[in-house]
A and B are shown apart, each in its own frame.
Chain A
Amino acid sequence: MARHKQIQTEEQEDPDMEISSMIDCCFLLLIYFLVATSLVSEKKFDMALPAGQASSSSSDSKPFNIKITSENAVYYEDQSGKKFNMGPATDFKLKPGQQGYYEERDLSELVARLKSLNNDPNNPKPLILTADPGSKHQRVMDVMSALTQADIKAVAVKCEAVN
């Protein structure tokens, strides 16, 4: 009989809610969401810009030119002045259902060409990025992305009409 009573009291205590596991779950969920949101956080993009306007002509070698027109087309000009089209004109229209400008604005041709320059990091070849005043900031970032992909860490930027 005494035994029977003991069991009953134990049963009565059991309905206590087990909070600790719930908390574990909550923490896990919280941390998951924190990590998930920080994945889309803003990042920075480094590019050394040797004083825009003061593109000194100290080096004897002729610079390579990258040009962006007002229609956002990208051209590459080698030292002999020959022009190559690297990226088509684009107007950066959002496609339906898009949150940002995620469409691929591929400049892989430019990356390949820049890589073939075989730029020595200690003695970088002069590179000038000239963008039309009316070209869009995103296109300039595209070109700078291509430069980083080709391991080029510095570029001189200019702002003047390109035709």
Chain B
Amino acid sequence: MGKKERKQEESECKPNMSPMIDCCFLLLIFFVVNATALTVSKDPSVTMPQATKPTDLEDAKGCIVINVFAPDKMMELSKSGSDQEKRGEEARIKKLQESYKTADISRIHYGVKTGKGEMQAITDEGASATIKKLEEFIKAEKKGLESTKIDPAQIRVYIRADARADWRRTYYVITAANNAGVPDIVFGSLPAKK
């Protein structure tokens, strides 16, 4: 009798693994999500350009992200492209319409995330007006970042320009960043495949 009881106790001593695993998975997922939240706010409507030997963005802190879209190209391809292109562009257009809450995307040339977390579209209204708008945004963001603990040297403009966007659009951002006193510019890109 006594022997039998002991045996039962021994088998009960086995640790129950499943809750531990649950915990582990939860922790893992938490850290993964946390890590991705740290990276720059990416807009999937941008077709990233490619570059050879791009480097990792080690720290997304202090990045003022400016998305540059190519709405005309997106609309053109959604009508005249191949089936695959049409599907891809339609999805991108839909995403743009959702995030900027407007049906007309033809005038969304830049997309930025304001300090309040709202998506804001900036339209291209000629060189000087556009540069001025972008400059104001960068200045406001810079001020916001400076009030936090971020090292001022870390403040930089991160340009996520569509590969097919006209160069002048990117150039406006570069000029605006210079005017706003943020000379440090980083281009977002994908590594080129061969």
Q: Which residues of A contact B (CB under 8 A)?
A: 9, 13, 19-20, 23, 26-27, 30, 34, 40, 42-47, 49, 51-53, 68, 92, 94, 96-97, 100-102, 104, 131-142, 144-145, 148-149, 157, 159
* Size bin of chain B's contact surface: 35 or more
What are the interface flags for B150-190 relative to A under an 8 Å C-beta threshold, 1 for contact and 0 otherwise?
00000000100111111111110011001000010111111
User: Which chain A residues lie closer than 8 Å to B171 at the CB level?
Assistant: 52, 131, 133, 157, 159
Question: Which of the residues A44, A97, A131 comes within 8 Å of B54, measured between beta carbons?
Answer: A44
A96 vs B81: C-alpha distance when bound (angstroms): 10
User: Which chain B residues lie closer than 8 Å to A45 at the CB level?
Assistant: 51, 54-55, 186-189
User: Which chain A residues lie closer than 8 Å to B68 at the CB level?
Assistant: 137
Question: Which of the residues A19, A30, A47 comes within 8 Å of B17, measured between beta carbons?
Answer: A19
| A interface secondary structure, majority | mixed
Contact, CB under 8 Å: A52 / B190: no
Contact, CB under 8 Å: A92 / B174: no
Q: With A43-B191, A148-B52 as given contacts, are A137 and B166 in contact (CB-CB < 8 Å)?
A: yes
User: Which chain A residues lie closer than 8 Å to B187 at the CB level?
Assistant: 44-47, 141, 144
| B interface secondary structure, majority | mixed
Contact, CB under 8 Å: B50 / A100: yes
Task: Given contact pairs A135-B166, A137-B166, enumerate 5 new A-B contacts (beta carbons under 8 Å).
Answer: A136-B164, A142-B51, A145-B51, A145-B192, A159-B167
Question: Which of the residues A30, A96, A137, A148 comes within 8 Å of B167, measured between beta carbons?
Answer: A137
Question: Which of the residues A13, A23, A137 comes within 8 Å of B165, measured between beta carbons?
Answer: A137
User: Which chain B residues lie closer than 8 Å to A27 at the CB level?
Assistant: 24
User: Which chain A residues lie closer than 8 Å to B168 at the CB level?
Assistant: 133-134, 159
Contact, CB under 8 Å: B57 / A137: no
Q: Is B118 an interface residue (CB 8 A)?
A: no
User: Which chain A residues lie closer than 8 Å to B40 at the CB level?
Assistant: 42
Contact, CB under 8 Å: B167 / A134: yes
User: Which chain A residues lie closer than 8 Å to B52 at the CB level?
Assistant: 145, 148-149
Question: Which of the residues B57, B84, B85, B178 comes within 8 Å of A44, measured between beta carbons?
Answer: B57
Question: Which of the residues B49, B167, B188, B190 comes within 8 Å of A68, measured between beta carbons?
Answer: B167
A113 vs B17: C-alpha distance when bound (angstroms): 63
Contact, CB under 8 Å: B85 / A94: yes
User: Which chain A residues lie closer than 8 Å to B47 at the CB level?
Assistant: 100-101
User: Which chain B residues lie closer than 8 Å to A43 at the CB level?
Assistant: 51, 54-57, 188-191
